[in-house]
Structures are given as C-alpha cells and as structure tokens.
Structure 1
Amino acid sequence: MADGLSVIPAATLRNLSDKLYEKRKNAALEVEGIVKQLAVAGDHDKISGVINLLANEYTYSPQANHRKGGLIGLAAATVGLTSEAAQHLDQIIPPVLNSFSDQDSRVRYYACEALYNIAKVVRGDFIVFFNQIFDALCKLSADADANVQSAAHLLDRLVKDIVTESDQFSIEEFIPLLRERMNVLNPYVRQFLVGWITVLDSVPDIDMLGFLPDFLDGLFNMLSDSNHEIRQQADSALSEFLQEIKNSPSVDYGRMAEILVQRAASGDEFTRLTAITWINEFVKLGGDQLVPHYADILGAILPCISDKEEKIRVVARETNEELRGIQADPAEGFDVGAILSVAQNHLSSAWEATRIEALHWISALLNRHRTEVLSCLSEVFETLLKALSDPSDEVVLLVLEIHACIAKDEKHFDQLIVYLVQNFHVDYSLLEKRGALVIRRLCVLLDAETVYRKLSSILQREPDLDFASIMVQALNLILLTSSELHNLRDLLKRTLYNNDGKNLFLSLYPSWCHSPMAIISLCLLAQTYQHASSVIQSLVEEDINLKFLVQLDKLIHLLETSTFTYLRLQLLEPGRYIWLLKALYGLLMLLPQQSVAFKILRTRLKTVPPYSFSGQQQFKGLSSGNALPEVAYASSSKIFEDGVMSADQRKTDDGINFASCLQQFERVQKQHRLLSKSQVQSQSQSRHNSASAAKEVQQADDTKRPSPVPETNRPPSRSSRKTSGQPQP
C-alpha cells in the first residue's frame, strides 16, 4: 500500500474520489499512464501496490465517491497493464465483483462499466472467474435500477462473446450453478438464464445436451410463465434440444423421463402439451433406456388421454399406442407388476377414456405376460370386480373380457361368478341395469352352459330367498330372450331325448325352484309339458300374488316371440301335445280375465284346430277362428283318458324323476311362503310397536297438561251468558 501512495501523486488520488465524474475520469487516465510505465519497467511489485491501494482504500471505502473512483481506477490499471493484466486479475476482479452488490445503484453501474473494460482487455483470461461473474450478472439482470440493468446487459453480451470463443470454459463447473438458478421466478433472471442456455448450446465444443437433465425441469417450469416472451424463449430452447435429441439420441432418457412425467401433469396446458410431445419422441427413440420407466410414463399418458385439449389427447393416444406396441421382456427389466399397478390405479379415474385405456393395458399384459399378471392378481382382482359396476357399458364389456381371460383358470372362474352374485345381492339396481349385459357377455366370452350351471349352483345354496328368486327370474328372462343363449335354449329343448340337455335341465332345476314362473318357463322350454302342468296344479293360493302375475304376464308375451315358435307349432297337433295344451289352459285359468295377457293366451288357444283331436269328422266344418277352447280341451281330455300318451309322457322316466323334482319345487316354495308370512308378521309387529309407542307418548303428553277446569267452575260461555240473561260485555 505504501508503494501505491509513493507512486500515485496525492492530487491524482484526491481527484479519483471527487464527486465530479470528469475529475475521476482524468485521474483514472493518470493511473493508467502510471501503471503502463511500471509495466514497461517490469515493476510488478509497485503495480500490485497501486492495485491494492485502489481496492482497499477506494472500492471498500464507506464513501460512495471513493468506491466509484476505485472502480474506474482498477479498470484504468487493467488497461495500462494490457497483456500483462492476467497475472494481477486475482487482485482486480474480486473488489469489482463485490461492488455488484453495493447499495448505491451508481456504484453498481460503475462496477458493470469497470468489469466491461477489464473483460475487453483480458478476454479469455478472466474465464477462471466465470461462475462468480455469472452469479453477479444473474442478480444484476433483475436490478431495480434501469441503468444498472442496461449496463449489466451490455456486460453480459461481452461475456457471452468471450465464452463462445474461449477454450478454457468449463461446462462441468458451470452446470451446478445453472441448475441452482433455474428455479428462480423473476422474469428478468429467467430471460437471462434462457439466453445463456441458448448461447452455450450453440457452441459446438460445449455439450449442453449431455447436461440437459440438470436444467430441463427449469425450462419446463418457464413454459407457464405469465410473460409471453419468456414462454416463447423457453419453448424455442426446448424445441432446439428436442431436435438435437432426434439427430443424436445418445442422451440420458431415464432422468429426463422422470421430469417429463411430472410436467405432463402440469396445470398449464402448454406445459402438458410440450411434455407429452417429448414423451412421445422418447418412446419412439428411447429403446432399452426407457424400459425401467414404462410404468411412470404410462402413469403420465393415461390422464392425458382424457385431457380437455384435443391436441394433448391426440398426442397422448399416439404415445399410448406406441408404448403398448413395444414388446418388452420382464427379463430385461420390464416390470409387469408396476405397469399393472398403474393401470389398476387409473380404473378409478373420473374419465371414461382413461379407464378404457387402462383396461386395454391390463388385457395386453394378460395376453403377453399371463404368468406374471396372475402372480399379481390378488392385488388387482378386487378392483377389476368392482369395475363391473362402472357407469360406462364399454368399460364393463372390457372388464368382462379381462375377467373371461382370467377365468380360463377354474379357480378364478369360481371367484368371478361368486363375486358377481354377491355384487348383485348388495346392489339390486346393478342387477336390474347391468345384469343382462354382464351375463350375456360372459356367456359369449366363456361357455354359456358353464356360466349358467355355476350360477345355478350358487343360487341353489343362497340363504336369502328373496334375492334368489329375483336373481333366478333375471337369469330365466335372459335365457329366454338373449340371442347369445340360442344354443343353450336348443340344448334344453332336447332335454327328453339328449343326455346333455337332461343334465343341463337338472342342473338348473334346483335354483329355478325359487321362482314358479321360472320353473314353468324352463319346463316349456325343455318340452317337459306334463311336469309344467303338474307344477301349475301344485300352486296354492299364497303363490298367486302380484309378483307371480307380473311374471306370468311376461311369460305370456314371451310365448308370442320367436323363442317359442316351436311351441306354437306344436299346438297344431293337440292330440300329440295334450300336456302342453293342459299347461297353457292352466296358465289361462290363473290369469285375471280382464288382463291383456289373458286375452292374448285365450286368442292363441282359440286357434288350435279342433279337428286334430280325433280321427272322426265331428269337428269338420268348424274353422279355427270359431273353435271354442272348452271344446278343444274337452276333446283332448277324452283322448288322454282313452290312453293316448303324449311324447313327453313317454319320456318322463328316462333319467328324470319328475315326482322328486315336483317335491323339490314344493319344498322350496313352502320355504318362500313361510318367509313371506314371517315378514308380514314382522311388519305387523313393527306397526303395532310403533302404534304403542305413539300411544305412550300421547299419554305422557296428556299427563303433563294442566287438568281441565270442572264444568261447574268454568265461566259460562258467551252463548250461555246470553241465554241466561246476563249482560253482554
């Protein structure tokens, strides 16, 4: 320091701290000349003394004008040193950088000016201070003073030029600083950062792409900035990087995939679109690197499939197809369980399209990696079963396809059918709204006979008789009306002369006993007409209730459909199908005469040709239109009494014990009647208890009321006073 004072005249030092800029500038020029002479003489000790004097006595001075003079003096000294300035940069740069945070905006401005002049002299030699300079410029880019900002921008452009031409710049040392700054929200700082990223990426010798994962998230964060220019700059930078990845796809896809997955769930539409676009390219380019990240990627794609923005939906669907089309091997790190878990989680999505794609993934995994999926089935099976209650028919159909695929194993088939029945039991509305859809689809995907046998077996043991009756009625209606069960109906029609038909009839019969109308329908379908007549005759008064009549009405209408065409044609031969005729007349007798169903069945029975009851010509001349059912029935009874047996009567002993079947039906119906009586008694008792409780409350209220005034003590009413001659008020 002493050397500095001896070298620089006192007047120069005074002017260096003068409040007038011109005096400080002239003093700086004198310092420049002095330092230049010392440099020529090679007296670097004195030069160091001058620099220390300027730094310690001026730039760190509490006086603002001293600090300004010190900064301009250091810049002048650097200019005087020219090519030899590099060896003194350790003394020159730190005090200038310290001034960047000065509380006086003019000092900060002169610090920018000083460093600008220093950088012009030393160029690449000051790269060793780059991180400190970058950090200072990052702060100054958001300075509150516009002049300081302008000076910082000018300095920033110069530093960028120096870095792009320097071979001493270390990207490895710079990236941690950049990564730390990328989360700053200030718009000026963001512009500053994007500008540096773009510049460094343009330098051929600097591999910014290799460090992209370190600042990728920050760039994506800027896409949602309120400043349009920042969003545009960030998007431009990201587009450039994506193009570089396409041209040279040797990057760390894994780390970037983690970032993209998070950004795909952004609340900002533009961010989501950009993220899903990147993911789309990654799925196409990433190859083996992405295998461990497939589950996370799928988790990002599925919600975007239902995005409110069409552009996002389109890219998400394309990406989903690309990902599902990749044939990955569990041996290579493909985690089937993780993918399955993601798909399962999205089955509860509020969006139908997402749920559908999640099911497509489960189906694809089942087809490709069945063993692995079944090993994880305990975790997903319950969710799949619950999905049968989904409000979307398309979802339910896909769920059924998956269940059918799983149910190739008997254990899982049993689980499915049992749960299905339990679900219908818990939610009757589900049975009403979805029962037919579910049962019909399962019959298509699995063997219809196996499905019905299993359902019958479960319902046969069902303790809730009311539910069993409702379920059987639903199954019976599906059996009679669904085109998917055509083969099952054909098999039942052969009950009397085919072992498979007989076995199916016997397997359904026990559970069908829960509904008289279901049993009658089954018998008509199986052409066991005599047993149908016996069942009808066995019905007692309690069986003929409103529910029964509603079901009977449905059956009468069904008899007019194509399902029972064969039955109606058999009426052309009443002599051969006497028990059919008797069964139908039995149904007719059960119907209220004023009902539509009665009129339909009566009209149908009137069409039975009377001349076919006997070989005699006693009915000749009577058309079917005026034949009376009573005449036809009387004739048929006469034929039966004469010993002519119908086709089904001849087969009743062929492996089917109809007497035992009838006893079983009567036994089950007796249980239903007892239950019904019990329910009526319970309701009656409940009403009685409610009435008693109400009466007790009334009595309690009465005891709390004041006693009525005796008649003798009550004041006479106005009317009585009038009649008694008392004066009126």
Structure 2
Amino acid sequence: MGDALLVIPPAVLRNLSDKLYEKRKNAALEVEGIVKQLTSAGDHGKIKAVINLLVKEFAMSPQVNYRKGGLIGLAAATVGLTSDASQHLEQIVPPVLGSFTDQDTRVRYYACEALYNIAKVVRGDFIVFFNKIFDALCKLSADSDANVQSAAHLLDRLIKDIVTETDEFSIEEFIPLLRERMNVLNPYVRQFLVGWITVLDSVPDIDMLGFLPDFLDGLFNMLSDSSHEIRQQADSALSEFLQEIKNSPSVDYGRMAEILVQRAASGDEFTRLTAITWINEFVKLGGDQLLPYYADILGAILPCISDKEEKIRVVARETNEELQATKTDPAEGFDVGAILSVARSQLANKWEDTRIEALQWILTLLKRHRAEVLTFLSDIFEALLKKLSDPSDEVVLLVLDVHACIAQDAPYFRQLLVFLIHNFRMDNSLLEKRGALIIRRLCLLLDAEKVFRELSKILEGQADLDFASVMVQALNLILFTSTELSEMRNLLKQSLVTSTGSDLFLSLYASWCHSPMAIISLCLLVQAYQHASSVILSLVEEDMNIKFLVQLDKLVHLLETPVFAYLRLQLLESSRYTWLLKVLYGLLMLLPQQSQAFKILRTRLKTIPSSYSFNDDQFKWLSRMNSYSQYHDASQVFEEADMDEDSQRRINYTAMLQQFQQMQLQHRIFSKSKKQSSCCPTSSKKNFQRAEEERLSISTSEASRPSSRSSYRGQI
C-alpha cells in the first residue's frame, strides 16, 4: 500500500474519487500512465501495490464515488499493463465482478464498462473467468436499469467474440452452469441464454450437440414463453439442433427421448407439436438405441393421436405407424410387458381414436409376440372386457378382434365366454345395447357353431334363471336374424337328417329350455313340429304374464321374416305338415285376440287354401305313426327313404320334453321365491333358501337319470 502511495500522487487519488466523471476519467488516465511506466521497468511489485490500493481503498469502499473511481482505475491499470495484464487478472477481475451486484446502478454500469475495457486488453486470457463472467452477465441481462442492461449487452457481445476465437474455452466446465440457468423464467435471461447456445453451437470446435440433453428441456420450456421473440429464438435453436442430429452419426437418443416424452404432454400446443416432431425423427433415426424407450414414446404418441390440433394428430399418427412397422424382438430388448401396460392405460383415454390405436397395438403384439403377450394376459384381460361397454362401436369391434385372437387357444376361449356371460349378467345395458354386436362379431371371428355350443353349455348351468332366460332369448334372436349365422341355421335345418345337425340341435336344446319361445322357434327351425306342439301344450301351467306375451309376440313376428320362408311355403301342403298347422294354431290360442300378433298370425292362417284343412282323424293317424318315427313329420317318412337310419333313433323327444318341463318348473319356483323375498323382507332369506332347496332337489332327481344330452338320444 505504501509503495502505491509513493507512486500515485495524492491529487490523482483525490480526483479518482471525485463525484465528477471527467475528474475520475482524467485521474484514470494518470493511473494508466503510471502503470505503463512500472510495466516498462518490470516493477511488478509496485504494480501489485497499485492494484491492491485501487481494490481495497476504492473498489471495495463504502463510498459510491470511490467505488466508481476504483472500477475505472482498475480498467486503466489493465490497459497500462498491456501484454502483462494476464499476470494480474486474479487481482483485477474479482472486484470488478463483485461490483456487478452493487446496489448503486451507476456502479453496476461502470463495472460493465470496466470489464469491457479489461476484456479488450486480455482477450483469450480472460477465459479462465468465463463461468463467473457468464453468471454475472446472466443476472445483469435482467437488470432493472436500462443503461446497465445496455452496457451488459455490449460486454456480452465482446465476450462472445472472444470465446469464438479462442481454443481455451471449456464446454465441459460451462454446461453445468448453463443447465442450472436454463430453468430461469425471466424473459431477458432466456434471450441471453438462447443467444449463447446459438453462438456456441456455431463454433466448429465446440460440441454443443453432445451436451444437448443437458439443456434440451430448458429450450423446450421456452417454446411456451409469453414473448413471441423468445419462442421464435428457441424454435430456431431447436430446429438447428434437429438438423444436426439428422446429420450426426451418433447421438444420445435415450436421454433426449425422456425429455421429449414429457414435453409431448405439454399444455402448450406449439411445444407438443415440436416434441412430437422430434420424436418422429428419433423413431426414424434412433434404431436400437430407442428400444428401451419404446413404451414411454408410445405413451406420449397415443394421446397426441386425438389432439385437437390437426398438425399434431398427423405427426403422431405417422410416428405411431413407424413404431408399429419396426421389426423388434424381446430378445433384443423390446419390452412387450411395458408396451402392453401403456396400451392398457390408454384404453381409458376419453378420446376414441386413442383407444382404437391402443387396441391396434395389443392386436399387433398378439400377432407378433403371442407367447409373451399371453404371459401378461391377466394384466390386460379385465380392461379389455370393460371396453366391451365402450360407447364406440369401432372400439368394441376391435376389442372383440383382440379377444378372438386370444381365444384361439381353447382355455382362453372358454374363459372369454364365461367372462362375457358374467359381464352381460352384471350389466344389463351391455346385453341390450351391444349383445348382438358382440355375439355376431365373435361368431364371425371364432366360428359361430363353436361359440353357440360353448355359450349354451355355460347357460345350461346358470344359477340366475331370470338372466339365463333373457340371455337365451337374446341368443335365439341373434341365431335367427344374423347373416353371420346363416350356415349354422342351414345346419340346424338338417338336424333330423344328419348327425352333425342333430348334435348341434341337442347342444342348444338344454339351455334353450330356459325360454319357451326360444325352444319353440328352435324346433320350428329344425322342423320338429310335433315336439314344438308338445311344448306348446305343456305351457298350460305357465304364468301368462307380460314378459311371456312379449316373447310370444316376437316369435310371431319372427315367423314372418325371410328365415321362415320355407315354413310358410310348407303351409301350402298342409296335409304333409299338419303338425306345423297345429303349432301355429296353438300359438294363436295363446295370444290375446286384441293383440297385433294375433291378427298377424290369424291372417297368415287364413291364407292357407281351404282344401288343405285337416281334422282330428289325421292327428290320430299321426300319433300312431309316432311309434315309427320321432324325428320328423310322419307324412315325410315315406318320402325320405334315403334318410340315415341312425338319425331316426337319434333324438329322444320324450326325454327332451321332460327336460323342458323340469326347467320351467325350476323357473316358476325361482320366480315365486323372488316375489316372496320382495314382499316379506324379514323372511326373504329363509324363503329363498327353501325355494333353492326345492329347485335343487328337482335338479338332483333329474341328474339321477342319464345325463341331459345323452338322454335325448336312443329309443323312445
């Protein structure tokens, strides 16, 4: 300190702290001259003393004017040092940087000016302080004073020039600071940061692309800034980086993919579009690097398929197609379970298009990696079943495609139909709104005969008899009205002629017993008219309630459909089909005269030519013929000489009628117990138990006879 006072005149020191800028400036010029002389003399000891004096007595003084003088003095000393300045930067730069946070705006301004002059002198030697200078400039870029901001901008441009021309800059040391600052929300700071990223990326020797994952999220964050200029700058920087990625042989796709996945769910439309665009390019370029991230990428893509912005939807669909087209193998790291988990979660998405694509993924995985998918079946099966109630028909059809693909294996086939029946029982609206669609689709995909046989087997032992009746009625209507089941109907029409037809008839009969109208219509289809007549006559004990009459009404209308055209034509030969006439008249007798169905059926019967009327003697003769044949109208026996003889003994109608009557008795007991339960809540449990015991005793006694299906076969 003493050496400095000997070197610098007191008048210069006084002027250096003067409130007038001109005096401080002149004093600084004196200091510059003095330092030049000391530099020429090589007296670095006194130079250090001068700098120490300027720092402690001026730059760090509590007096504002002293601090101003100290800053201009340090800059002047650096200019005086010229090429030797680098030896004293450790003394000069820190106090100047410290002044950047001074409370006085003019001090901060002079700090910028001083550092600018220092940087001009030392150039590349300045880089050792880069991180500290960058941090200081980052803060000054958002300074409250416009003049300070302006001075900081001038200094910033100079520092950028120095960095681009030197090979001493360390990107590795700078990136942690940049990553930390990227989370700042101030618009001025953001502009400052994007500016530096762009400049550094333009330097050939600086590998900014290699460190892109460290600040990529920050750039994406700027895309939603309220300032159009900042959004534009960030987008420009990202576009440049994406182009570099396309031209680069090796990039860390994985780390960036994690960032892009998060940004694809941004609430900002422009951010989502940019993220999806990047993901699209990554899927095309990333190859095996992206395999571990496929599930995350798919989780980002699927919601965007239903985005409100068309551009996003287009890119998302293209990306999804790219992903599906990629040939992958679990052995190479493709995680089937993770992909399935994502697809399952998106089944709950509120948008139809996303749910559809999620199902397409499950279907694709089933076709490509069936064994692996089936190991995760328990994780997705319930979610798939729930989607059968989806409001979209297209979704439901795709769900059925998936189920059908799973059900190619026998255990899963039965499991599917058991779950389906359970869902129909638990959700009546599903059966009403989607029952026909679901059953028809499954019949198309899995073989109608196989589906109906299994459903019949399940319903045969259904404990909820009311539901069983409703379900059978639904299946019966589907059987008679669906084009997908035309071959099955044709096979049933051969029930009295071929063993395959009769076997199908018998497989349906036991469950069809849950509904009288279903049984009658089935018998009419297979042309077992005498048995249909017996069933009708056995209905005398039935409660002719509204449900019964509604089903009867439906049956009459069904008889007028094209499916029963052959039956209506048979009425032209009433002498051959007298049991058919008796069936139709039996139905007519059950209908109320005021009903529309009564009028329809009566009108149909009136169209039969009067010459084809029949009498009781004919029925007596037909009854006698019953000892010869139980499988067909007796009048047809003599014209079917080539009929398989085994088919004449195949169907035991007596046992079948007993089965039907037993089932209807169980239904009456079941209905009675339900009525008692609703009328007498306190004793409902006991009533229900007694009814169940009675119903079970009937089932047990029935079981003591030969099994239901075998009892239909053999001699009468």
Fold conserved (TM > 0.5)? yes
Q: How many residues get paired?
A: 671
1:460-499 Cα offsets, whole Å, 9 max, x none, are 1111111111010000000011111111111111111111
Return the alpha-carbon distance in structure 2 between the equivalents of residues 566 and 249 of structure 1: 74
> 1:431-580 to 2 correspondence within 5 Å?
431-580=431-580
Asked whether the 8 Å contact 1:306–1:353 carries over to 2, the reply is yes
Aligned CA distance change for structure 1 residues 330 and 4 (closer, same or farther; 3 Å) = same
Matching residue of 2:220: 220
Asked whether the 8 Å contact 1:574–1:636 carries over to 2, the reply is no
> 1:309-458 to 2 correspondence within 5 Å?
309-458=309-458
Partner AA of 2:266 in structure 1: S
Return the alpha-carbon distance in structure 1 between the equivalents of residues 662 and 374 of structure 2: 43
Asked whether the 8 Å contact 1:17–1:24 carries over to 2, the reply is yes
Residue 639 of structure 1: how far off its partner (Å)? 6.2
Partner AA of 2:484 in structure 1: E
Q: Provide structure 1 residue ranges, at least 5 long, that are not aligned to the other structure.
A: 614-630, 690-729
Return the alpha-carbon distance in structure 1 between the equivalents of residues 678 and 125 of structure 2: 100
Residue 633 of structure 1: how far off its partner (Å)? 5.1
Partner AA of 1:172 in structure 2: E
> 1:174-213 to 2 correspondence within 5 Å?
174-213=174-213
Residue 594 of structure 1: how far off its partner (Å)? 2.4
Asked whether the 8 Å contact 2:576–2:633 carries over to 1, the reply is no
Whether 2:646 is the aligned partner of 1:661: answer no
| Deviation larger for 638-647 or 595-604 | 638-647
| Deviation larger for 575-584 or 480-489 | 575-584
Return the alpha-carbon distance in structure 2 between the equivalents of residues 643 and 148 of structure 1: 117
Matching residue of 2:167: 167
Matching residue of 1:616: none
Partner AA of 2:89 in structure 1: L
Matching residue of 1:38: 38
Residue 312 of structure 1: how far off its partner (Å)? 1.0
SS at match of 1:348: coil
Return the alpha-carbon distance in structure 1 between the equivalents of residues 235 and 205 of structure 2: 23
Return the alpha-carbon distance in structure 1 between the equivalents of residues 392 and 214 of structure 2: 43
Return the alpha-carbon distance in structure 2 between the equivalents of residues 687 and 503 of structure 1: 47
Return the alpha-carbon distance in structure 1 between the equivalents of residues 247 and 548 of structure 2: 76
Return the alpha-carbon distance in structure 2 between the equivalents of residues 682 and 176 of structure 1: 75
Residue 388 of structure 1: how far off its partner (Å)? 1.1
Partner AA of 1:152 in structure 2: A
Return the alpha-carbon distance in structure 2 between the equivalents of residues 633 and 308 of structure 1: 74
Return the alpha-carbon distance in structure 1 between the equivalents of residues 106 and 623 of structure 2: 127
Residue 610 of structure 1: how far off its partner (Å)? 4.1
Matching residue of 2:26: 26
Aligned CA distance change for structure 1 residues 143 and 642 (closer, same or farther; 3 Å) = closer
Return the alpha-carbon distance in structure 1 between the equivalents of residues 182 and 622 of structure 2: 99
Matching residue of 2:712: none
Return the alpha-carbon distance in structure 2 between the equivalents of residues 432 and 662 of structure 1: 30
Matching residue of 2:154: 154
Partner AA of 2:149 in structure 1: Q
Which of residues 654, 666, 669 in structure 2 aligns to 1:671? 666
Residue 676 of structure 1: how far off its partner (Å)? 2.4
Asked whether the 8 Å contact 1:549–1:591 carries over to 2, the reply is yes
Residue 243 of structure 1: how far off its partner (Å)? 1.2
Return the alpha-carbon distance in structure 2 between the equivalents of residues 596 and 643 of structure 1: 36
Partner AA of 1:590 in structure 2: L
Return the alpha-carbon distance in structure 2 between the equivalents of residues 82 and 238 of structure 1: 41
Q: Percent identity?
A: 77
Asked whether the 8 Å contact 2:575–2:614 carries over to 1, the reply is no
Residue 91 of structure 1: how far off its partner (Å)? 1.1
Aligned CA distance change for structure 1 residues 436 and 633 (closer, same or farther; 3 Å) = farther
Partner AA of 1:122 in structure 2: V
Residue 244 of structure 1: how far off its partner (Å)? 1.1
Return the alpha-carbon distance in structure 2 between the equivalents of residues 95 and 681 of structure 1: 97
Residue 684 of structure 1: how far off its partner (Å)? 4.0
SS at match of 2:101: coil
Matching residue of 2:585: 585
SS at match of 1:192: helix
Aligned CA distance change for structure 1 residues 682 and 131 (closer, same or farther; 3 Å) = closer
> 1:683-702 to 2 correspondence within 5 Å?
683-685=678-680
1:395-450 Cα offsets, whole Å, 9 max, x none, are 11000000000001111111110010010111111111110000000000101111
Residue 606 of structure 1: how far off its partner (Å)? 2.3
State the TM-score, normalizing by the size of structure 1: 0.90
Return the alpha-carbon distance in structure 1 between the equivalents of residues 624 and 267 of structure 2: 87
Q: Provide structure 2 residue ranges, at least 5 long, that are not aligned to the other structure.
A: 638-644, 685-716
Return the alpha-carbon distance in structure 1 between the equivalents of residues 633 and 49 of structure 2: 128
Partner AA of 2:55 in structure 1: A
Return the alpha-carbon distance in structure 2 between the equivalents of residues 193 and 533 of structure 1: 91
SS at match of 1:391: coil
Residue 4 of structure 1: how far off its partner (Å)? 1.2
Return the alpha-carbon distance in structure 1 between the equivalents of residues 96 and 289 of structure 2: 47
Which of residues 624, 633, 637 in structure 2 aligns to 1:648? 633
Return the alpha-carbon distance in structure 2 between the equivalents of residues 462 and 641 of structure 1: 36
Return the alpha-carbon distance in structure 1 between the equivalents of residues 568 and 577 of structure 2: 11
Matching residue of 2:98: 98
Matching residue of 1:598: 598
Return the alpha-carbon distance in structure 1 between the equivalents of residues 66 and 234 of structure 2: 42
Residue 636 of structure 1: how far off its partner (Å)? 4.9
Matching residue of 1:124: 124
SS at match of 2:380: helix
Residue 80 of structure 1: how far off its partner (Å)? 0.8
Residue 634 of structure 1: how far off its partner (Å)? 5.6
Matching residue of 1:623: none
Partner AA of 1:132 in structure 2: K
Matching residue of 2:53: 53
> 1:48-87 to 2 correspondence within 5 Å?
48-87=48-87
Aligned CA distance change for structure 1 residues 633 and 204 (closer, same or farther; 3 Å) = farther
Residue 46 of structure 1: how far off its partner (Å)? 1.2
Return the alpha-carbon distance in structure 1 between the equivalents of residues 48 and 346 of structure 2: 70
Asked whether the 8 Å contact 1:397–1:441 carries over to 2, the reply is yes
Return the alpha-carbon distance in structure 2 between the equivalents of residues 137 and 96 of structure 1: 12
Return the alpha-carbon distance in structure 2 between the equivalents of residues 503 and 331 of structure 1: 47
Aligned CA distance change for structure 1 residues 168 and 642 (closer, same or farther; 3 Å) = closer
Partner AA of 1:155 in structure 2: L
Residue 320 of structure 1: how far off its partner (Å)? 0.7
State the TM-score, normalizing by the size of structure 2: 0.91
Partner AA of 1:664 in structure 2: Q
Residue 544 of structure 1: how far off its partner (Å)? 2.7
Return the alpha-carbon distance in structure 2 between the equivalents of residues 636 and 118 of structure 1: 127
Partner AA of 1:662 in structure 2: L
Return the alpha-carbon distance in structure 1 between the equivalents of residues 382 and 625 of structure 2: 60
SS at match of 2:572: coil
Return the alpha-carbon distance in structure 1 between the equivalents of residues 234 and 252 of structure 2: 20
Return the alpha-carbon distance in structure 2 between the equivalents of residues 639 and 580 of structure 1: 15
| Deviation larger for 67-76 or 243-252 | 243-252
Return the alpha-carbon distance in structure 2 between the equivalents of residues 337 and 183 of structure 1: 35
Asked whether the 8 Å contact 1:249–1:285 carries over to 2, the reply is no
Residue 290 of structure 1: how far off its partner (Å)? 0.7
SS at match of 2:144: coil
Residue 245 of structure 1: how far off its partner (Å)? 1.1
1:136-180 Cα offsets, whole Å, 9 max, x none, are 000100111111111000100111111111111111111110000
Matching residue of 1:722: none
SS at match of 1:350: coil
Residue 635 of structure 1: how far off its partner (Å)? 7.8
| Deviation larger for 634-643 or 40-49 | 634-643
Partner AA of 1:256 in structure 2: M
Q: Which has the larger radius of gyration?
A: 1
Return the alpha-carbon distance in structure 1 between the equivalents of residues 546 and 176 of structure 2: 82
Return the alpha-carbon distance in structure 2 between the equivalents of residues 640 and 420 of structure 1: 44
RMSD of aligned alpha carbons: 1.8
> 1:626-637 to 2 correspondence within 5 Å?
631-632=613-614, 636-637=618-619
Return the alpha-carbon distance in structure 2 between the equivalents of residues 643 and 662 of structure 1: 19
Partner AA of 1:681 in structure 2: Q
Partner AA of 2:633 in structure 1: D
